[in-house]
Amino acid sequence: MNTLLLHPDTPGDIERAGALLAAGQVVGIPTETVYGLGANALDGAAVKQIFAAKGRPADNPLIVHIADFSQIFDLVAAVPDAARRLADAYWPGPLTIILPKAACIPDEVSAGLETVGIRLPSHPVARAVIRAAGVPIAAPSANTSGRPSTTTAAHVMEDMNGKIAAVLDGGACQVGVESTVVSLAGEQPRLLRPGGISLEQLEAVLGPVAVDRAISQPIGDDVRVSAPGMKYRHYAPHAPVTAVCGDPAKGAAYIASHLTAQAGVICFDEFAGQFDGHIVRTIGRADDPAAQAHAIFDALRAFDDTDVTAIFAQCPDDSGIGLAVANRLKKAAGFHVIEV
């Protein structure tokens, strides 16, 4: 398959992407979090092609993206008051809300669960292409399963060239980590994946939110997790990663004293000078987790073009969007975490 590279500023390209989606094809689309691998969410056969292109396990459900709030009513069994309040506060934006699904959601999307995740993205190109398709769009992150998520059209091409119909190039994603996934399908609101909307922001609207333990701990194969995607090794570059958490200056010193000759470093800007002779990627200042979120997947991917044999990465603390950055780094490290 010849994968088309489309540009939102080229007249007709958004409509072309929409027509491909409406015809049951898979298209890479920009969102404010990461690029998504989109297909018609109401067409099980179209959705199956997403799983094939990514090499994604069939038991991992997909998020359904809408362009306007009113579309949610056809996709879920009911919209509780808590969902409305979350949507008022944070939609359009980097938040996915899990609710009991409506009958129209194919099993391919929900992976056999009784629930479905809904997201109204804020990226104008994402919304324009969903409108052009005329259907809700199921979309996981547009990476090969297990690799770091894709935050530029070039990343999507790297993983998907020849496997999907087209990629719509909307530039670099602003947030850089995936949406926050919160379940309102149980008795208590539950954070399943930290992301662009922080736990503190969720609790400001919902009150106490339970935090799934898969966010900060490794989960064994035998354990049933609330978000199936959380159990897989994820976001991983080829070289093994060690995540270094705790005081940033101590962490930098730890890394400097443990670096082997062929090791690379992901560090906060102010420590970049401490690793002379090594390949270093900076991700923003230690006190700027939003900058770190924006840079983290590109940094993880960049090492796959090098011959580093190990990667040491500085990890932020859990406040604000730092929780999401730390979660992605710990998962990339297979939870090989050093606390300094």
The 128-147 contact track toward ligand TXA, x by CB under 6 A, reads -----------xxx------
Residue 233's CB: how many other CB atoms inside 10 A?
A: 13
67 lies in the binding site for ligand TXA (CB under 6 A) = no
Widest pairwise Cα distance in the chain: 58
Q: Is 330 among the residues that bind ligand TXA (CB under 6 A)?
A: no
Which structure tokens are listed for 211? 């935090």
Contact, 253 vs 268, CB < 8 A? no
Name which of Mg ion, ligand TXA, none residue 33 binds, using a CB cut-off of 5 to 8 Å depending on partner kind: ligand TXA
Binding mask 216-255 for Mg ion (x = CB under 5 A): ----------------------------------------
Pick from 96, 150, 198, 201: which binds ligand TXA (CB under 6 A)? 96
Query: Residue 122: CB partners within 8 Å, gap ≥ 6?
Result: 32, 91, 92, 93, 94
Which position among 21, 27, 47, 62 is part of the footprint of ligand TXA (CB under 6 A)?
62
Choose the stretch contacting Mg ion; rule: CB under 5 A; options: 4-12, 50-58, 137-145, 255-263: 137-145
Count of other CB atoms within 10 angstroms of residue 236: 19
Residue 99's SS3 state is strand
Asked whether position 141 contacts Mg ion by CB under 5 A, the answer is yes
Phi and psi at 327, nearest 5°, equal -60, -45
User: Considering the rule CB under 6 A, would residue 227 count as an interface residue with ligand TXA?
Assistant: yes
Contact 59, 228 (CB under 8 A): yes
Position among 71, 110, 274, 306 found at the interface with ligand TXA (CB under 6 A): 110
Who contacts 52 (Cβ-Cβ below 8 Å, separation ≥6)?
Answer: 163
Q: Which of 8, 36, 148, 284 touches ligand TXA (CB under 6 A)?
A: 36
In the complex, least distance from residue 302 CB atom to ligand TXA, rounded to whole angstroms:
20
Looking at the Cβ atoms of 91 and 268, the one nearer to ligand TXA is 91
Four-point Cα dihedral 4, 108, 298, 241, nearest 10: -140
Kindly state the smallest distance separating residue 143's Cβ from ligand TXA, in Å: 8
Piece in contact with ligand TXA (CB under 6 A), picked from 8-16, 29-37, 275-283, 285-293: 29-37
**Residues 39, 40, 42, 44, CA torsion sign:** negative
CA separation, residue 289 to residues 58, 302, 314, 325 (Å): 33, 19, 12, 7
Q: C-alpha 124: how far from its chain's center?
A: 18
Residues forming contacts to Mg ion in the complex (CB under 5 A) are: 141
Residues forming contacts to ligand TXA in the complex (CB under 6 A) are: 31, 33-34, 36, 60-63, 94, 96, 98, 110, 113, 115-117, 119, 139-141, 178-179, 181, 192-193, 226-230
